[in-house]
Amino acid sequence: MKPHLKMFNHRVLILSGSFFTVVAAFSAGVWAQAAATPQSPAKLWHWPDSMDSVNAAPKNHKLLFEDDHVRLLEVTVQPGETENMHGHKYPSVFMMDAPQPRIVNKNLDDNDALQPGAGRAGNRPPPPRNDGGEVAYPTCRAMSNPQSPHQVTNVDTFPQHFYRMEFKKIDGDAIRSMTKYPAE
């Protein structure tokens, strides 16, 4: 098999094998809808589009898919690497397919960096475990608000890798008045 087809098949396998993750991402996006509605102007993105991750940190945020409703990013930060300062203007769901390294996450709004490891622990629930006590992948976590500009430094010995599904359009309660999706 040609190398580019093998790589394509590998990605298709990963993405199709993550059906549960996509369902969880959709559910988490629906859950996150209230935070992204126009009724919550304080939670909306108020930085220039140049600060959006795919513009400000394209080395670390690869756009895999985009339509009017969602965009899927592949996020990678190598050991010892610091991303460019960037943000995320849409609510999103993180889909982790591997352990996450220790990171330092510096926010533009704060002059102080979080402690190493805060990117792995913080206020996040522990990842689900299988019967053998090992972490079960894939695992997901929702970020219900746009994320203000920040920059991550991977302070561990292995790469950070995950997928980020961003919700560009959230129907929220408006879906209750629809008889067909999408509304015509």
What lies within 8 Å, CB to CB, of 80 at 6+ separation is 153, 154, 155
Picking from 147, 100, 139, the residue whose alpha carbon sits closest to that of residue 121 is 100
Helix then strand count (H, E) for the chain reads 3, 8
Q: What is the DSSP string of 10-26?
A: HHHHHHHHTHHHHHHHH
pLDDT reported for residue 108? 79
Domain ranges of the chain: 3-170
pLDDT in tens, 130-171: 777 777 788 888 888 888 899 999 999 999 999 999 999 888
Q: How far apart are CA 138 and CA 117, in angstroms?
A: 20
pLDDT reported for residue 171? 83
Q: Which residues of the chain have pLDDT under 50?
A: 12-42, 112-123
pLDDT reported for residue 6? 62
pLDDT reported for residue 110? 60
Buried b (16+ CB within 10 A) or exposed e, 123-147: eeeebeeeeeeeeeebbbbbbbbbb
Domain 3-170: assigned CATH number: 2.60.120.10
